[in-house]
Structure formats: C-alpha cells, structure tokens
C-alpha cells in the first residue's frame, strides 16, 4: 500500500501540474497597438512600413511589382526601361505582358494600412502640430497610392476608411469611381497634405513635406492632363468607357494642366530647391556632375526633393542594380551582369552641342538613308572611320556619357571593350563569332579581347554582353566594387527631383498654351545649361519631350510618358529596336573603327495593343467590378 500511495502521489502531482494553465501560452511576436502608438517614435515604426509600401518606381520596381528585393529577387534583371525604347535586355525579348506592372492587391493593402492610421489619429495622445502632420502624411500616402492605381486602371473604388468584414461579402463591394473622380480624389488628397504638412521634418527625415506633396500633385496632374488631351489618339470602347470608368473628357485637360503648372510653380517659387551644380564650365564637368547626382542623390539636397533610401547590403534592404547592370568586365564574380542595354533610339535622342534644339542621330556614313538603314554591314558602303570606339559620340550631350558606358571608355579603372567584330584587309567581315585573326603580327579577336572576362559586348555567352553597343552607367557607383550577391547595392533613389518639377512646369505651359511662357522656357533651358548647353532653345512640346527623354532616362518615367501621351501604339507598331555595332576596320592602317546601325540582334518586333493603356483589373469574379476594355 505504501507504493500505491507513492504512485498515487506521483499521479496526483502530475494532474495538479497539468491543471494550471498549460495551454494559456501567449504569442511572443505580437505588439499591442496602445504600446506602439503611445509615443511618436512608435508611430514612426508604423510609418516606416507605410513608406516602405509606397509604390515608388525606383531600383526595386520591376514589371513584377515593387520592392522586388525580398524573398528571391531573381527576375533576370528585366527592368521597366526594357519595355520602352530606352533599352533592351541582353537576352529576353519579351515586351509588355498582361500581368506586368500590376499593382492592385498591394495597393489596397497600403490603403487599408493607411486608413488604419487615419482611424487611430484622433485617439492619439499627441499635440495638435504632430496630429496635423500625421493627417498630412496619411493624405500624402493615400494620394500616392491612388495615383499609382488610377494610372494603371483608370477609375477605381475609392475606399477611405477601414472596411470591416462581418461575414457579408456584398457589403464590402465598392464600385469603381469614374476616372475623373479618381484623379480629383488624388489631387484633393494632395491638397490636404499640402495644407497640413510643414516645410521639413526636424531631423531631416525623409517623410512627406508640403513640397513633396506639391511635387506629387504636379506629377499626377500632368499625367491626368495629358490623358485628357490625348485619349482620342487611341480610342477604346466598352462598358468601362460608357460608364466613364476609364477615359477623361478633353475638356478636363485645361484644369489639370493648370493644377500641374500651379503645383510645380509653387515648388519653384519656394526658393528651397535648385539644380545640382547648375553652371558647369565644360561638358566633361557636366557629365561628371550628372553622374554624381545619381551615384548618391544625398550629394544634392537642393535637387533631391524626396529620397527613397537603401540602407544595408543584403537582407532585403538593398537592391540589385549593381549586379545586374554592371558591364561584363566589372562583374566582380557575379555570374549575370550586363543586362541593361541602352538602345540606339536613346543614343539618337541626345542633342549635339553644335546643333541645339534637335536630336542628333548617330551618323555612320554619308549615305542619305544612313539613319534608317538597318540591313547590316555592307562592304561597298562608305563608312566614316574613327580613331577610337567612341569618337563617333564626340560633341554629344554630356548626359549621354554619364548615362551609358560608351565603347572604349574607362569604367572602374579599366577600358570597357565593346566590339562586334572586324573587317579583314580583304574586305571580308567577321562579325559576332569566328576565330582570331592575325594580321601584321597582331592578333585580332572578334569581341576585342581573347579573354571572355576582358570584353563586354556582343558575345552571346552567358547573356552578359551588351547587344546594343553600349552598356549602362546611370546610378552605378564607379568607386565601389559591388559584392556579387543579392541586394548588395545601397544607392539611394531620388523619387522627386527638381529637374522633373521644371520639366512638368515646362510641359504644362507648352501643352496648355497658358501660363508664363518665358518662365517655362527658362525651366527647360536651366536643365540644358546644367548639361553643358550654352544655346537656349524655345519652349516647344517636342523640345520638352526630348529633354524629358534624356534628362530622366532610366528613371522609369518613359513608360508612363508613352502611356499618358498615348504614344506607345504608334512607337511600337511591329517595331524593332536598334543597336550600334563598333567594328574594327583592318582595311586601313592603322586600323580604324566603323559603326553599323542594325536591328538589335536576336530580337523580335514589338507591338503595343490599345488595351494595354489600361491594365486589367484582377479578381473581378470576387470584387464584381467592371473590367477594363478588351480584357
């Protein structure tokens, strides 16, 4: 019995231990709202996640979405510029797929998250000033989000408070507002932000200010204005059009241009901003200034109105421009560099200093059809011969030299070799492939060097060599060898910069035919002067658009410019993009370089469908919304 007692004791002890609160565990990874919002620093933690979610079209913006640097960021380095006439990818030829550039679910998630904050603001124990700033910030974030939605989808459901799900799905369905209502909502939110926000934050934090809100309003209003003015260039029809869910009346253009001009003028008149190093002495200086501006926009606080920062290499807080777009020679062990190939179209767009006010297509021969002949090397053609691989670009806009790595120029202490082949003394062309050739005791290699790691052009191996004749430079840091891993690059991105504000102003004046034309022309020419141009050109829409192409190249503006101005379908209508082949001509001694304009090798023509001016709305089975035309 003694043992029974002991055993029973054991059992009872066990049961007693169990009866406590074994199952009452608490989660170890959750914070309660009242703790988080009790202090401005805690609010800042929540704001960090909201700003993170802003659809900023920066280094982590790809056709798959935003913040493409978490999880597996491997998208082959296909940048948005490659869906335009700015660049092609070394390998991929695809254009714009239906699923590209979607931002719907994430958009409404950000809107929900900011609505949560808006609901909380009145209950916070903060002073009036802080409260006002939070109101302004949340309006800014909401404007930013709806702007990203409306430019993709047209009119969208305007959800302005946190929806609660209580079992009734129908109660949650909100119909689309018209496109006009949606644009007006964006501008109204901008106005709320403008009136609530201050000039700056005490610690200089990268948070919305009055001026950032003005800049957003200027950008959004210009977009809306161009849509109103040019929608009829690509007429579409369908239920969504009938209900005005997509499309703006032409008559709306004037008010939007005015809003864009007013908002940009407010920034200009504030006197708080200016161009970075506005008066260079030489084009070389201009090129270097321009490069430095993007290597680190923090160098230029006067120009960088709003910066999206990248903080730490690795772990989802850096980006991948450094690894994807470095020329092959400076890959530093990364297996897949060189993906961004600026097109001949972009090279042709730059002005030459001696011919201000017009694009100067790269001229390879004296032939009359030089600029339109893409049939490849022709032995009988009289090509201009140049001493170096980049002499052909001499005298052209400084920004071209700072945006692209031109063949034979130096980058990170070495000469970047981009060569498509050579012409043997007998006139036989050896282009892209073939054996080395020895002539007068010197061995010539098709791609300019024997070693695969010592050239950056045209070889198809690895898909790492440019196929357009130039490599990419803008945003890359020349002083830094990038570590060959994911998200190692921490270059910051200027989301709004003063030059864009000047261009918005100039465009709004030029397009609307109202406003101060002198001031508009000055805005345009200020930017050109910063690029080393000494001659002023008149304010015309063509001049403004060309200036946008070259000044804002690769800042992911071109895609939306083609959309808002309804130019995509005319520009891409069974259209090939083009390349420039630097070829060593051994028919003369010493050997010289000739250049051949050709279709981008291994590429296909691209066509833009009308319907792609709007993205399709995902999930209409569940949200019950009217789909966009032709989807």
- Subset of residues 470 to 499 that bind other proteins, contact rule: CB under 8 A: 481, 483-485, 492
Task: Take residue 67 and report the two structure tokens written for it.
Answer: 């913040």
Beta bridge pairs of residue 342 = 87
Does 31 bind other proteins (CB under 8 A)? Our answer is yes
Q: Which is nearer to other proteins, 427 or 485 (CB)?
A: 485
Residue 413: count other Cβ atoms within 10 Å of its Cβ. Answer: 8
The DSSP 8-state label assigned to residue 596 in this structure reads E
Surface-to-core class of residue 281, CB atoms within 10 Å of its CB (0-12 exposed, 13-18 middle, 19+ buried):
exposed
Q: Which is nearer to other proteins, 26 or 251 (CB)?
A: 26
Instruction: Report angle CA 241, 242, 243 to the nearest 5 degrees.
Output: 90
SS3 430: strand
Place of tokens 């970047």: 416
To other proteins, the closest distance from the beta carbon of 542 in angstroms equals 31
To other proteins, the closest distance from the beta carbon of 619 in angstroms equals 4
Does 604 bind other proteins (CB under 8 A)? Our answer is yes
Surface-to-core class of residue 346, CB atoms within 10 Å of its CB (0-12 exposed, 13-18 middle, 19+ buried):
buried
Query: 18-49 burial string, b = 16+ CB within 10 Å, else e?
Result: eeeeeeeeeeeeeeeeeeebeeeeebeebbee
Site for other proteins in 50-79 (CB under 8 A): 50-53, 67, 70
Backbone dihedral region for residue 376 (phi beyond 0: left; psi -120 to 50: alpha; all else: beta): left
Q: Please choose, out of 88-96, 124-132, 192-200, 350-358, the segment that lies near other proteins by the rule CB under 8 A.
A: 88-96
Does 15 bind other proteins (CB under 8 A)? Our answer is yes
Does 443 bind other proteins (CB under 8 A)? Our answer is yes
Residue from 364, 380, 371 nearest 429 by CA = 380
Q: Which of 39, 44, 366, 570 binds other proteins (CB under 8 A)?
A: 44
To other proteins, the closest distance from the beta carbon of 376 in angstroms equals 11
Q: Which of 235, 366, 538, 624 binds other proteins (CB under 8 A)?
A: 624
To other proteins, the closest distance from the beta carbon of 494 in angstroms equals 12
Q: Which is nearer to other proteins, 366 or 434 (CB)?
A: 434
Q: Which is nearer to other proteins, 3 or 125 (CB)?
A: 3
Q: Which is nearer to other proteins, 365 or 607 (CB)?
A: 607
Residue from 400, 394, 304 nearest 350 by CA = 400
Does 30 bind other proteins (CB under 8 A)? Our answer is yes
Residue from 279, 299, 238 nearest 617 by CA = 238
Q: Which of 157, 327, 515, 582 binds other proteins (CB under 8 A)?
A: 157
To other proteins, the closest distance from the beta carbon of 423 in angstroms equals 15
Does 379 bind other proteins (CB under 8 A)? Our answer is no
Q: Please choose, out of 133-141, 236-244, 250-258, 622-630, the segment that lies near other proteins by the rule CB under 8 A.
A: 622-630
Does 450 bind other proteins (CB under 8 A)? Our answer is yes
- Cα-atom radius of gyration of the chain, to the nearest Å? 28
Residue from 169, 257, 265 nearest 215 by CA = 265
Show the binding pattern over residues 232-261: x = contacts other proteins (CB under 8 A), - = does not.
------------------------------
Q: Which is nearer to other proteins, 334 or 554 (CB)?
A: 334
Site for other proteins in 499-558 (CB under 8 A): none
To other proteins, the closest distance from the beta carbon of 343 in angstroms equals 18
Q: Please choose, out of 24-32, 270-278, 375-383, 582-590, the segment that lies near other proteins by the rule CB under 8 A.
A: 24-32
Residue from 553, 523, 474, 518 nearest 218 by CA = 523
Q: Which of 125, 461, 589, 590 binds other proteins (CB under 8 A)?
A: 461
> Distance (Å, rounded) from C-alpha 239 to C-alpha 405?
48
Q: What is the largest CA-CA distance in the chain?
A: 116
Does 19 bind other proteins (CB under 8 A)? Our answer is yes
Beta bridge pairs of residue 437 = 444
Q: Which is nearer to other proteins, 350 or 616 (CB)?
A: 616
> From the centroid of its chain, how far is CA 441?
48
Q: Which is nearer to other proteins, 47 or 275 (CB)?
A: 47
Q: Which of 16, 354, 413, 513 binds other proteins (CB under 8 A)?
A: 16
Does 36 bind other proteins (CB under 8 A)? Our answer is yes
Q: Which of 288, 317, 359, 575 binds other proteins (CB under 8 A)?
A: 317
Cis preceding linkage at 17, omega within 30: no
Residue from 549, 615, 463, 458 nearest 84 by CA = 549
Q: Which of 22, 125, 281, 369 binds other proteins (CB under 8 A)?
A: 22
Task: Take residue 287 and report the two structure tokens written for it.
Answer: 């090129």
Q: Which of 237, 433, 440, 541 binds other proteins (CB under 8 A)?
A: 433
Residues in the chain: 631
Q: Please choose, out of 11-19, 245-253, 522-530, 543-551, the segment that lies near other proteins by the rule CB under 8 A.
A: 11-19
To other proteins, the closest distance from the beta carbon of 72 in angstroms equals 11
Site for other proteins in 92-151 (CB under 8 A): 92-93, 104-105, 108-113, 115-116
Q: At what angle do helices 128-153 and 40-53 cross, to 10 degrees?
A: 10
Pair 435, 422: CB distance under 8 Å: no
Phi, psi of 494 (to 5 degrees): -85, 105
> Distance (Å, rounded) from C-alpha 217 to C-alpha 260?
7
Number of residues that bind other proteins (CB under 8 A): 112
Q: Which is nearer to other proteins, 272 or 452 (CB)?
A: 452
Q: Please choose, out of 168-176, 402-410, 511-519, 524-532, the segment that lies near other proteins by the rule CB under 8 A.
A: 168-176
Q: Which is nearer to other proteins, 110 or 591 (CB)?
A: 110
SS3 190: helix
What distances in angstroms separate CA 621 from CA 173, 174, 618, 625, 626, one per listed residue? Answer: 12, 14, 8, 8, 10
Pair 447, 457: CB distance under 8 Å: yes
Residue from 81, 58, 90 nearest 469 by CA = 90
Residues 6+ apart with CB under 8 A from 18: none
Show the binding pattern over residues 190-229: x = contacts other proteins (CB under 8 A), - = does not.
-------------xxxxx----------------------
Q: Please choose, out of 161-169, 376-384, 556-564, 584-592, the segment that lies near other proteins by the rule CB under 8 A.
A: 161-169
Site for other proteins in 283-312 (CB under 8 A): 298, 307, 309-312
Q: Which of 118, 124, 126, 174 binds other proteins (CB under 8 A)?
A: 174
Does 451 bind other proteins (CB under 8 A)? Our answer is yes
Residue from 612, 617, 619 nearest 627 by CA = 617
> From the centroid of its chain, how far is CA 368?
36
Q: Which is nearer to other proteins, 213 or 266 (CB)?
A: 213
> Distance (Å, rounded) from C-alpha 152 to C-alpha 150?
5
């Amino acid at each position: 019995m003694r043992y029974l007692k002991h055993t029973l004791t054991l059992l009872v002890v066990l049961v007693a231990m169990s009866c406590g609160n074994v199952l009452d565990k608490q989660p170890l990874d959750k914070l309660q709202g009242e703790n988080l919002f009790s202090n401005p620093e805690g609010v800042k933690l929540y704001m960090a996640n909201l700003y993170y979610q802003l659809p900023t079209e920066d280094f982590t913006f790809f056709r798959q979405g935003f913040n493409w640097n978490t999880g597996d960021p491997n998208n082959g380095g296909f940048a948005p510029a490659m869906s335009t006439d700015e660049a092609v990818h070394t390998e991929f030829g695809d254009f714009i797929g239906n699923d590209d550039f979607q931002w719907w679910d994430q958009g409404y998630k950000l809107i929900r998250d900011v609505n949560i904050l808006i609901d909380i603001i009145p209950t916070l124990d903060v002073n009036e000033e802080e409260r006002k700033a939070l109101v302004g910030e949340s309006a800014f974030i909401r404007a930013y989000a709806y702007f990203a939605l409306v430019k993709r989808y047209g009119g969208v459901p305007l959800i302005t408070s946190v929806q609660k799900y209580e079992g009734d799905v129908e109660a949650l369905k909100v119909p689309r507002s018209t496109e006009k209502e949606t644009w007006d909502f964006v501008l109204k939110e901008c106005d709320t932000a403008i009136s609530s926000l201050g000039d700056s934050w005490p610690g200089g934090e990268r948070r919305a200010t009055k001026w950032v809100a003005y800049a957003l309003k200027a950008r959004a209003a210009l977009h809306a204005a161009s849509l109103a003015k040019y929608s009829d260039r690509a007429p579409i029809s369908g239920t969504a059009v009938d209900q005005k869910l997509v499309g703006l009346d032409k008559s709306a253009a004037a008010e939007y241009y005015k809003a864009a001009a007013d908002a940009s003028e407010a920034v200009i008149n504030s006197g708080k901003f200016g161009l970075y190093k506005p008066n260079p002495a030489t084009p070389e200086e201009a090129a270097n200034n321009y490069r430095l501006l993007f290597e680190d926009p923090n160098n230029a606080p006067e120009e960088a109105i709003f910066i999206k920062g990248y903080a730490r290499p690795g772990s989802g807080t850096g980006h991948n421009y450094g690894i994807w777009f470095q020329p092959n020679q400076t890959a530093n062990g990364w297996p897949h560099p060189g993906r961004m190939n600026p097109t001949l179209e972009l090279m042709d767009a730059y002005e030459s200093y001696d011919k201000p006010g017009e694009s100067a297509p790269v001229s390879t021969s004296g032939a009359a059809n030089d600029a339109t002949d893409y049939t490849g090397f022709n032995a009988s053609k009289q090509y201009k011969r140049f001493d170096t691989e980049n002499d052909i670009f001499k005298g052209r806009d400084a920004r071209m030299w700072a945006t692209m790595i031109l063949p034979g120029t130096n980058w990170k202490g070495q000469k970047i070799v981009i060569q498509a082949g050579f012409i043997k003394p007998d006139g036989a062309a050896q282009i892209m492939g073939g054996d080395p050739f020895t002539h007068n005791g010197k061995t010539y290699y098709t791609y300019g060097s024997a070693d695969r790691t010592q050239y950056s052009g045209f070889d198809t191996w690895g898909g790492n060599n440019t196929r357009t004749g130039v490599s990419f430079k803008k945003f890359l840091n020349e002083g830094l060898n990038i570590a060959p891993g994911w998200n190692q690059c921490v270059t910051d991105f200027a989301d709004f910069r003063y030059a864009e504000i000047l261009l918005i102003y100039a465009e709004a004046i030029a397009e609307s035919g109202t406003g101060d034309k002198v001031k508009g022309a000055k805005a345009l020419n200020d930017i050109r002067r910063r690029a080393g141009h000494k001659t002023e050109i008149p304010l015309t829409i063509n001049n403004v658009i060309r200036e946008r192409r070259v000044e804002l190249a690769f800042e992911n503006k071109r895609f939306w410019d083609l959309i808002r101005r309804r130019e995509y379908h005319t520009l891409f209508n069974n259209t090939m993009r083009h390349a420039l082949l630097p070829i060593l001509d051994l028919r003369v001694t010493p050997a010289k370089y000739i250049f051949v304009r050709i279709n981008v090798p291994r590429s296909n023509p691209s066509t833009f469908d009308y319907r792609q001016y709007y993205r399709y709305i995902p999930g209409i089975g569940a949200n019950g919304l009217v789909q966009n035309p032709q989807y």
